Amino acid sequence: MKIHSAILVSLFLTCTVQAAEVHVSKSGDNENKGSKAEPFKTISTAAESAQPGDTITVHEGVYRERINPPRGGSSDDQRIVYQAAPGERVEIKGSEVVTGWEKVQDDIWKVVLPNSFFGGFNPYSDLIHGDWFRDKGRAHHTGAVYLNGEWLIEAAKLEELLQQVKQESDPLWFAKVGKKNTSIWAQFKGVDPNSELVEVNARQSVFYPDKPGRNFITVRGFTLAQAATPWAPPTAEQIGLIGTHWSKGWIIEDNEINHSVCVGIALGKHGDEFDNTSANSAEGYVKTIERAHAYKIPWTKENIGHHIVRNNHISHCEQAGIVGSLGCSFSTITDNTIHDIHVRQLFTGAEMAGIKFHGAIDTEISRNHIYRTCRGLWLDWMSQDTRVSQNLFHDNAEDLFIEVNHGPYVVDNNIFLSPKSVRDNSQGCAFLHNLFGGSFSCTPQGRITPYHKAHSTEIAGMEKTRCGDNRFFNNIFKQDVLGIYKDKLPILQSGNVYVGKGISFDAKSGVISLSREVSKILAGQDCKIVTSEMLGKAEIPDLPYEDVDGKPLRIDTDYFGKSRNEDNPMPGPFELPAGQRQLKVWPIKGKQK
């Protein structure tokens, strides 16, 4: 026993000694040792040297490279950490600076770049395409042009750009790729581009491993921007500006992530020869799920997911802020600010949202602020033991879309303030203590989709979505929605309040105001603390409503994390003191950015 203990101590000390901090600086040299005194020049060089347990600290500056981590950590305790030096601004960009612009006419300028400028990937010949993508009758490329950090819009034709010179509209760009050169025309209104910062996309991603199974990586404190990301449907490899590529245990935290042509963060699927061949069908995605279970790294709780995405500011992505097909399972998405997602709407399809997940099993989505998106949160297929809690949604075309899920899953203590609050094309959801400030619709689906064994990726059966089998407890509605479930699966409901008018929100101040009448209605309602026992079981999977960790639910705190009145909790997301009629719901100190 003494010998065995001594060996364990020796191994522990060896691992501790081997853990190192590797430094990167713009003033460094890749021939250096990577120490603080002799830092490397590129993050990619540091990545090649980093071993499980090591930390790569990157110092201030703009790094124009794609980080392809060659390995991950060995466990949660022995992860590889990539971090910006504390207090220093570190930007990693998928773009390159371009000068040498020549004036064509008025505000139109042109530059000609050799194709070698882009290496093996030229985003100006890379078409956006794939399952469920709709181009609206024109071509779209993954390239982009930026003036002082803001992107221009791709013109459908060169003539469109040349004819728009004197119109009051957003500036355009257009590119043509020849055998040797790429010509780019761009509209720079009232400025000389050679005197400003002009950048063009040159890399598909900024931080993304080229192979799956690189686990336990942390990415912290960076600005990650300007990538030529491809369309990321659930049936293909999902590549984001930053992505986990079918792995386990990543932590993506405290980053600024912006200006991705398609996706900001990808937690999704691996690639194979069947990518984008599903014929846009439910049957095609069922086959995708089957292949994921049979893959060399199979879709199981032991192998995939368990990611933490927190405290990030994600914006200006034209498909999704965060996407994940299957690879998002067992993950936590919390305290993120997500906005300006798919606002241009130059192309369309079926994969656009602030957060778009397929297979969000045992996944927590909490305390996020999501606004100015086409759709705030889209839970599509196999949301089971998922918990959507304490999120703020406003100024979206639609706040929450839940599609062809069978439950059980929980939506509690959320604030939905857009004109369209919820579209429910699923069943088996528990809606608890929410504020629904807009419409609530329900549509049955004819598609046959899977449900799973408890807290597992293993499929237990397949079923159509009839809608219903929902629980509505202690919610605030601005209009009656429960009648829409007539002739569908039965629902349970208690403690809900319908207030009509009398609730307003000021997005600038982040303050919700209640009228005196609404305040009286809430204070006079008779409610009970919601528990797993009260919720029972979802009918189709025959499983109880539990938290993501399998423990029983007890909704005894509110949107702010404040304890609820045990004897008579207040309906809606707030436990209000008597007489209080205004609440600052954003920003909240210690909650989110």
Tens digit of pLDDT for each residue in 469-481?
999 999 999 877 7
pLDDT at 12 over 80: no
Q: How confident is the model at residue 591, as a pLDDT?
A: 55
Q: What is the reported pLDDT for 4?
A: 53
**What gap in Å lies between CA 187 and CA 527, rounded to an integer?**
60
Q: In the predicted model, is pLDDT for residue 204 greater than 60?
A: yes
- pLDDT-derived band at 168, boundaries 50, 70, 90: low
Is pLDDT above 60 for 92?
yes
Residue 13 has pLDDT above 50, yes or no: no
- Over residues 413-432, the mean pLDDT reads 97
Lowest mean pLDDT among 98-112, 235-249, 343-357, 577-591: 577-591
- Rounded to an integer, the average pLDDT of 201-215 is 98
**Rounded mean pLDDT of the chain?**
94
CA angle 144, 104, 108 (to 5 degrees): 40
> Is the distance from CB of 229 to CB of 178 less than 8 angstroms?
no
What are the tokens at 240?
A: 């984001």
**Which CATH number fits the domain 96-201, given the four candidates 2.60.120.260, 3.30.930.10, 2.60.40.1180, 3.40.50.150?**
2.60.40.1180
Compute φ and ψ for 334, nearest 5 degrees: -145, 145
Give me 461's structure tokens: 């059966």
Closest CA to 546 of 401, 412, 357, 369: 412
Mean pLDDT of all residues in 402-421: 97
For range 458-468, the mean pLDDT: 95
Domain boundaries, the chain: 1-94+203-358, 96-201
Would you state the structure tokens that stand for residue 229, as one six-digit string? 């990301």
* β pairing state of 543-544 and 537-538: antiparallel
Residue 389 has pLDDT above 70, yes or no: yes
Indicate if 96-201 has the same CATH topology as 1-94+203-358. Answer: no
Percent with pLDDT over 90 in the chain: 89
Q: Give CATH for domain 1-94+203-358.
A: 2.160.20.10
The model's pLDDT over 54-87, given as tens digits with 9 standing for 90+, comes to 999 999 999 999 999 999 999 999 999 999 999 9
Q: Tens digits of per-residue pLDDT, 356-381?
A: 999 999 999 999 999 999 999 999 99
- The predicted structure's pLDDT at residue 198: 98
**pLDDT class of 167 with cuts at 50, 70, 90:** low
Per-residue pLDDT tens over the stretch 541-568: 999 999 999 999 999 999 999 999 999 9
pLDDT value, residue 579: 83
The single-letter code of the amino acid at 341 is: I
- Quick check: 187 pLDDT over 50? yes
pLDDT for res 165: 62
pLDDT value of residue 16: 46
**Nearest residue to 493 via CA among 514, 509, 523, 469:** 469
Distance of alpha carbon 277 from alpha carbon 280, whole angstroms = 8
